[in-house]
Amino acid sequence: MESFELIKEAEEARKRSYSPYSGFAVGAAVLCKNGKVYHGANIENSSYPLCMCAERNAIYAAYMDGQSKDDLLALAVTADTAGPCSPCGACRQVISELFPHDAPIYMSNLKGDVKVTDAEHLLPFAFDGSDL
The angle subtended at Cα 16 by Cα 23 and Cα 104, nearest 5°, is: 95
Q: Is 55 a catalytic residue?
A: yes
The residue length of the chain stands at 132
CB of 84 to ligand THU, least distance (A): 11
Name 110's Cβ contacts closer than 8 Å, sequence gap at least 6. Answer: 11, 78, 79, 80
Span interacting with ligand THU, options 7-15, 49-57, 64-72, 114-122, rule CB under 6 A:
49-57
Q: Does 51 bind ligand THU (CB under 6 A)?
A: yes
CB of 57 to ligand THU, least distance (A): 8
Closest CA to 99 of 129, 44, 131, 62: 62
d(CA 29, CA 39): 5
Site string for ligand THU, 56-95 (x = CB under 6 A): -------------------------------xx--x----
Site string for ligand THU, 93-132 (x = CB under 6 A): ----------------------------------------
- Mapped onto helix, strand or coil, the DSSP state of residue 102 is coil
Active site residues: 55
